[in-house]
Amino acid sequence: MTAHDDVNAPDNERALEEGIVTDFRERMTYGSYLDLDRLLGAQHPVSRPEHHDEMLFIIQHQTTELWLTLVLHEIRRARELLAADDLREALKPIARLKNIQEVLTQQWSVLATLTPTEYAQFRGFLGSASGFQSVQYRAVEFALGNKNGKMLGVFRNHPENLALLTAEYESPTLYDEFLRLVARRGLPVPAEILDRDVREPYREHADLVPAIRAIYENPHEHWDLYEACEKLVDVEDNFQFWRFRHLRTVTRTIGRKIGTGGSSGVDFLQRALDLTFFPELYTVRTSIGT
């Protein structure tokens, strides 16, 4: 007697429930909604002969770009809500942003499985293509305060990318909108911050620290501002974790080679660790309790 004949044998096949839709002639499908034909057909290795590990390299960077699309989406929403004095609702996209950043940082562990020998076999086929040219990454940095007008020139031959980055270059940062809200709450935010040229990178202002200190030393009076300050610190910390993980992954994969886009590679990434988005939120910690 076979297992199929044994009525007591376990059934290792899940029955298809009667209500499950199987006729999609006139219905939207999972694949059409997500545009999976285009998304899953967007991996085009350039190495010849095609190297097995290039697919990892492509998918790692494509998924990063998808997450960066959502990062920008959430930052823009948070800015809109801050500008509308809706701090409570603004905390939600900021909290979501933190979780996206954690996923982005964890992704480096996958790329870190690419050994120097494996990468060397297809790196030369990349030409001058480099993550340095990611317009979405630059837009995120601009949106958080690290603006650099010279970066616009990198995208001068791609009108859509240039328009995207120019829009962020000319817009208030997330921190700008938060500090404007703080000022509207009656705390002493210096006029030079409120009236600053938002196209310039944000720089630390010692005169802002008393306002931030007032928030931290009176959390029950300013609870939502207090919570927002800590969530912004989370965002910056997570961004630094991402930068550091990027640095270490590049170091273990190519050592101190020049980047494919012409940067100094590891040294260039190392200098990024000195950049800060919300400096007063860190400076204030020195003065609290003293």
Cite the annotated binding site for heme by residue number: 246
**Backbone CA torsion sign across 36, 37, 38, 42:** positive
Whether 251 contacts 116, CB under 8 Å: no
Binding-site residue positions for substrate: 57-61, 119, 123, 260
Encoding tokens for residue 98? 């933190």
Whether 190 contacts 207, CB under 8 Å: yes
| DSSP codes, the chain | --TTT-TTS---SPPPPTTS----TTS--HHHHHTHHHHTT------SSPPTTHHHHHHHHHHHHHHHHHHHHHHHHHHHHHHTT-HHHHHHHHHHHHHHHHHHHHHHHHHTTS-HHHHHHHHGGGTT--GGG-HHHHHHHHHHT---GGGGGGGTT-HHHHHHHHHHHTSPPHHHHHHHHHHHTT----HHHHTS-TTSPP---GGGHHHHHHHHH-TTTSHHHHHHHHHHHHHHHHHHHHHHHHHHHHHHHHTTPPPTTSS-THHHHHHHTT--S-HHHHHHHHHTT-
Closest CA to 265 of 121, 123, 136: 123
Whether 175 contacts 233, CB under 8 Å: no
Binding-site residue positions: 57-61, 119, 123, 246, 260
